[in-house]
Amino acid sequence: MENKWIPVSNPPEKFQDVILFREDAGVFSGFYGNYAECLPDSMVDEYAKHLSEDELFEIRWFYYSLEGGGFLELDLLPTHWMQLPQEPKDLQFNPTE
């Protein structure tokens, strides 16, 4: 599988972890999805107190960080994304070994 940078105008499938790029931020990780379908129910219930149903289900870019994560918008949107590489064959988990 050849990994290449793809413009965000051609997004991945929803809820697929990807590598993201933005010139001022460099390379970072995230996904393309929404709050309602990707967060635990307890967190969705908390967000629902402050967001409309449309906002909960709006598909957008999210990032991961050591401090947590969040969504990206306006000038924080990534410009490109790339699929995660496959893990090395010799490091893949095999419960029968």
Q: What is the pLDDT of residues 54-66, one digit of tens each?
A: 888 888 888 877 7
The pLDDT tens digits for 1-52 are 568 999 999 988 878 889 999 988 888 888 888 878 777 777 778 878 888 8
Q: Give the number of domains in the chain.
A: 1
**Between 74 and 42, residue with greater pLDDT:** 42
Please indicate, yes or no, if residue 92 is contained in any of the structural domains: no
Please indicate, yes or no, if residue 59 is contained in any of the structural domains: yes
Please work out, in degrees rounded to the nearest 5, the angle formed at the alpha carbon of residue 6 by the alpha carbons of 68 and 15: 40
Please indicate, yes or no, if residue 35 is contained in any of the structural domains: yes
Please indicate, yes or no, if residue 32 is contained in any of the structural domains: yes
Please indicate, yes or no, if residue 89 is contained in any of the structural domains: no
What residues does 22 pair with on adjacent strands? Answer: 26
Please indicate, yes or no, if residue 95 is contained in any of the structural domains: no
Q: What is the pLDDT of residue 7?
A: 95
Domain range for 55 is 6-84
Please indicate, yes or no, if residue 90 is contained in any of the structural domains: no
Kindly tell me if the per-residue pLDDT of 78 is higher than 80.
yes
